[in-house]
Amino acid sequence: MKQGLGTQLRHLIELLDGDVAQAYADAGLDYRPRYTPVMRVLQQHGSAPIGRIAEV
């Protein structure tokens, strides 16, 4: 059965996330790249409720 585009993209993101996380770990950084969008919102807006983070 052929996977849908959404499933394929989700798998690609999981692979990328794992590899990027490993690159950060290899560089001695304790950071999960999947949190980058949240961190960008917090950097721009300061503390924000979860609804605002999701909205942005």
Give the chain as a DSSP string: -PPPHHHHHHHHHHHHHHHHHHHHHHTT----GGGHHHHHHHHHHSS--HHHHHH-
How many folded domains does the chain comprise?
1
Q: What is the pTM of this model?
A: 0.57
pLDDT in the model for residue 48:
87
pLDDT in the model for residue 56:
85
pLDDT in the model for residue 5:
92
pLDDT for residue 1 is more than 80:
no
pLDDT tens for 11-54 read 998 889 889 999 999 999 998 888 888 999 999 988 889 998 88
Q: Domain limits at 48?
A: 5-55
